[in-house]
Structure formats: C-alpha cells, structure tokens
Amino acid sequence: METDVLIIGGGPAGLSAAYETASRGLNVTIIEETWYLGGQLVQQTQSFEDMPNHYRQLCGFEIAENLIKKVEPFGIHVLTDHTLIGLYENGEMGISNDRDVFPVKASKIIMATGAAEIAVPFPKWTLPGIMTAGAAQILINRDRVLPGTKTILIGSSSFAFELAKQLHEVGIEVKGIVEQQSDIVLQNNCLIDEIEKLNIPILKNTKVIEAEGKGQVETLVIESNQGPQRIDVDFVCLDGGRNPILEAFLIANCSLSYRKILGGWVPDYDLNFETSSEGVYVAGNSTGITSKAAIFLTGSLSGISVCESLGKINSTEASQMKNLFWEELYQVEQQVNLEGWNSRLKHIEGYMGPNSHQSLSGIGRKING
C-alpha cells in the first residue's frame, strides 16, 4: 500500500493533522488500533478550559464528533482495527490487522499515539477491581457499565477530581480522594469546592498501605496521622499521571529526551514537529503532556509542516499559519501551564540548539520577556 501521509493514531491529534493534510489535497491514511476514531476524547463528558477557542463550550466526545465530521469530506483512508507493529528495513511501516501484516509506504509519517496512564503500586494492587482512573472513565462513559458501587481514588490530579464527580453522578459512592502530599495542586481550584460540596472527603497526608479481598478488592487500608483506616470498597481508581506512549518512536529509531514536566521520556522534535528520524513527525500527547490545546495545535502544526515539505503550501504561507498556531498555544498555556510551555521550548532547544525557537517571531520575544 502507498500513501502520501501515514498517520498513526486516530485521536484528536491524528485527526487534526489529517485535516490539515487531506484538506490540501494530500492522500492520507490513518491507522487506528481501536475500532473507532476519536481516541481518548470519546469517553470524556466534561468540557475543558485549556482548549483552542472554538472548542471551549464543547465536551470531549462532542469535540471528537466535530473533528470526525470535519475530516469526512476529504476521503481519508481510515483503517480502524489496524495497528503499527514494526518497521521494515526499507523504511516501510508494518501494519497488522490481526490476520495479516502488510507494509505501507508513505512519503511522510505522523505519529500521534497518545499517552498511557501510570500505575500506583502497593501490596495487592493487582487484585481485580483495582484499575486506573481512565479505565473507570471508559467503563462508565464509553461502555456504560458500572465498575462497582463504592470506590476510592488514589492520586489527586484534576483528572481524579473530574472522575470523582462523574462517578458520583452515576450513583457510585466515592469514599475519598487520597493524596500522600500535604497539598493538592490543581490548575483550577473550583474543582476542590465542587468535590467538597458533594461531601467527597479529600484525604491529604494519607498513604495506601494495602488492598485486601478474596478474589477481588474488598478493602483498602490507608494511613494518615490519625492512624490506619480500613475502607470498604468494591473497586479502586489509581491516578499516577500519564506519560507519552513511546513504542512507535522506538521502532522508528527516534531519539528521546527526558523532561519530567512533559511526562518523562519524549521524542525529540524541531519546530516543525519532525523527529530525529527523517520524515517522521509527532503530534498530540506524544509531544509531551501540557494542555488540551496542545493536542490539537501540535496536530495542526505537524500537518502544516508536512504540507510544506511536500510542496502543498509555500513557505511564506506555511510560516504564517505556523505562527498563528504557536501564538494560540502560547495564549492558552501562559494562562494554564506556563511551565509546560517553557519545558516544550527547552525540549526543542535541547534538540535543535540554543535559541532555535527565536524564528517564531513575536512569540520568541515573549518567551524571553
């Protein structure tokens, strides 16, 4: 099989890149491991503030529907239930549909494989009923299955707070949000008030001792200054944060750098989101986890860069568009995650050399100012 642009991952980043490339006449193929497009947005019933302007009023799954509609007219070749599993010696990608493995030859590749959740280990954390926060969200919102009736959340990111609300809404008793540290650090402190109004206890300075249960979790033992406490539960949600999924980049021999703020190891990339492997670009959470807006905007930026290098737009037009997307990203992130924005620029600098982002006229000045 041959295509101009091969996109690995049909989440919001992959779809944003697909829009920019396919709408300019390129032949685009999306490889998606699951049976649907939309990625992790599909189970998100909340709306987000850290979004590009035109998406701010919508909740996650509506944005996904929007994006899918937006790319529909351009005849993108969508292969769901297909997975990237390897790379051939001649640079073609090895795609599997569970029966056959076949090569795809592409002029440019955009990898948008998203992020994975990090587990929180403690004795017997592998008992059935103990799952990541994202797994619980997928069960209630995508699959419409209740994972249980009473739960406790371990970890206190804004995602845990969001999830606690959603679990409460569907009638699950949330017995607390457990945080080892003495502080809860959120971008949006309204979430704390909302959780307190729902009478969900926020248990700071508390650590997990172990889980107990016969054949499945029945009790979670936690400990604070006031001593140990046994919580009666039938499932537990773990929120250990997320990191970029790296496997596709490792297969394509892309170099990586460690950036704690971006989520750990992240593929190296330049201002065009091209990795160290020529013709392989990156988009979405795989570029580092900063804001929701970054997922879409890095998708668009990689798409524009691919169009430019395949001669679909000239460099003047391309740099105008890229500046607009970078500017928008800066506008969002200076409000919600300046640390993430700075870390991304450091990441680019680490790969491209000092001050390499100065070419972003205007935006470059703001960084130094």
Partner 1 sequence: MDNTTIICRCEEINQEEIEEAIQIGAETFDDIKRLTRCGMGPCQSKICMNLVSSIISEKTSHPLSQVPVPRLRIPLRPIQISTLATGSSNFSSVKSVMDEVELDERR
Ligand X SMILES: Cc1cc2nc3c(=O)[nH]c(=O)nc-3n(C[C@H](O)[C@H](O)[C@H](O)COP(=O)(O)OP(=O)(O)OC[C@H]3O[C@@H](n4cnc5c(N)ncnc54)[C@H](O)[C@@H]3O)c2cc1C
Q: Which does 44 bind (CB under 5 to 8 A by kind): partner 1, ligand X, none?
A: ligand X
Q: How many angstroms separate the CA atoms of 281 and 260, rounded?
A: 21
Q: Determine which helix (DSSP H) or strand (DSSP E) holds 242, and give its type and residue range.
A: strand 242-244
Question: What span, in angstroms and rounded, lies between the C-alpha atoms of 53 and 40?
Answer: 20
Q: Considering CB distances under 5 to 8 angstroms, the limit depending on partner class, which of ligand X, partner 1, none binds residue 11?
A: ligand X
Residues pairing with 150 in the sheet: 173
Collapsing DSSP states into helix, strand and coil, what is residue 364? helix
Q: Does 103 bind partner 1 (CB under 8 A)?
A: yes
- Cβ proximity to ligand X: between 127 and 140 the closer is 140
Give the residue carrying structure tokens 């709306």: 47
For position 85 contacting partner 1 by CB under 8 A, the verdict is: yes
- Reported residue count of the chain is 369
Q: Work out what residue 34 binds among partner 1, ligand X, none; the CB cut-off runs from 5 to 8 Å by kind.
A: ligand X
Instruction: Please select the residue that binds ligand X; options are 6, 10, 160, 220, rule is CB under 6 A.
Output: 10
**Least separation, in Å, of the C-beta of 317 and partner 1?**
37
Closest approach of ligand X to the CB of residue 236, in Å: 16
Residue 98 binds to partner 1 (criterion: CB under 8 A): yes
Candidates 3, 29, 43, 83; binder of partner 1 (CB under 8 A) is: 83
- The residue type of 86 is G
**28-31 and 77-79: which strand pairing?**
parallel
Question: Which residue among 7, 26, 31, 139 contacts ligand X (CB under 6 A)?
Answer: 31
Alpha-carbon span 263 to 2, nearest angstrom:
34
User: Which of ligand X, partner 1, none does residue 22 bind (CB under 5 to 8 Å by kind)?
Assistant: none
**Pairing relationship of beta strands 173-178 and 150-154 according to DSSP bridges:** parallel
Q: Look-up: residue for tokens 């704690």?
A: 260
Residues 214-225 as b or e (16 or more Cβ within 10 Å = b): eeebeebbbeee
Q: Could you tell me which residues come within 8 angstroms of residue 33 by beta carbon, excluding any fewer than 6 positions away?
A: 9, 81, 82, 83
Among 3, 14, 19, 148, binds ligand X (CB under 6 A): 14
C-beta of 295: minimal distance to ligand X in Å?
A: 4
From the DSSP assignment, how many helices (H) and strands (E) are in the chain?
A: 10, 19
> Does 292 sit near ligand X (CB under 6 A)?
yes
CB 73 to ligand X: min, Å: 21
Angle between helices 315-336 and 338-352 (to 10 degrees): 140
339 binds, among ligand X, partner 1, none (CB under 5 to 8 A by kind): none
Judged by beta carbon, residue 238 or residue 321, the one nearer partner 1 is: 238
Q: Is 351 in the site for partner 1 (CB under 8 A)?
A: no
Nearest-angstrom CA–CA distance, 241 and 220:
20
CB of 284 to partner 1, least distance (A): 17
258 touches partner 1 (CB under 8 A)? yes
Please tell me the distance from the alpha carbon of residue 358 to that of residue 11, in angstroms, as a whole number: 30
Which of 336, 301, 337, 332 has the alpha carbon at shortest distance from 319?
A: 301
Which residue in the set 27, 62, 86, 279 belongs to the binding site for partner 1 (CB under 8 A)? Answer: 86
Q: Does 123 bind partner 1 (CB under 8 A)?
A: yes
d(CA 113, CA 246): 8
Q: Whole-angstrom Cα distance, residue 209 to residue 218?
A: 14
Which of these ranges, 182-190, 242-250, 254-262, 330-338, lies near ligand X under the rule CB under 6 A? 242-250
CA distance 72 to 78: 10
Q: From partner 1, ligand X, none, which one binds at residue 295 (CB under 5 to 8 Å depending on kind)? A: ligand X
Give residues 77-116 in contact with ligand X (rule: CB under 6 A): 83-84, 112-116
**Is 251 one of the binding residues for partner 1 (CB under 8 A)?**
yes
Binding site for partner 1 (CB under 8 A): 83-89, 94, 96, 98-103, 116, 118-119, 121-123, 125-126, 240, 243, 245-248, 250-251, 256, 258, 260, 264-265
Binding site for ligand X (CB under 6 A): 8-14, 31-34, 39-41, 44, 83-84, 112-117, 134, 137-138, 159, 162, 242, 245, 248, 284-285, 292, 295
